[in-house]
Amino acid sequence: MKYLVVVQGTQADYDSMRGQASAHAPAWTEDDVKAMYAYMGAINAELARTGELVDAQGLAEPARTRLVTRGPDGRTVIADDPYDTAEVIPAGYWLLDCRSLERVTEIAERVTRCPGPDGVADLPVVIRPVLDGADEIQTGPA
CATH number at residue 16: 3.30.70.1060
Q: Is 119 left (phi over 0), alpha (psi -120 to 50) or beta?
A: left
Residue 138: inside a domain: no
pLDDT score at 133:
77
Q: What's the structural domain count of the chain?
A: 1
- What secondary structure does DSSP assign to 34-67, as a single string? HHHHHHHHHHHHHHHHHT-EEEEEE---GGG-EE
What's the whole-model pTM score?
A: 0.88
Per the structure, the complete domain to which residue 59 belongs is given by 2-131
Residue 15: inside a domain: yes
Residue 84: inside a domain: yes
* Banded pLDDT at 82 (limits 50, 70, 90): very high
**Which tens digits make up the pLDDT trace of 40-77?**
999 999 999 999 999 999 999 999 999 999 999 999 99
Residue 120: inside a domain: yes
Residue 93: inside a domain: yes
Number of residues in the chain = 142
Chain centre distance of CA 62: 12
Residue 76: inside a domain: yes
Is residue 7 within a helix (H) or strand (E), and if so which, with residue range? Answer: strand 2-9
Residue 139: inside a domain: no
Helix (H, G, I), strand (E, B) or coil at 19: coil
* Banded pLDDT at 132 (limits 50, 70, 90): confident
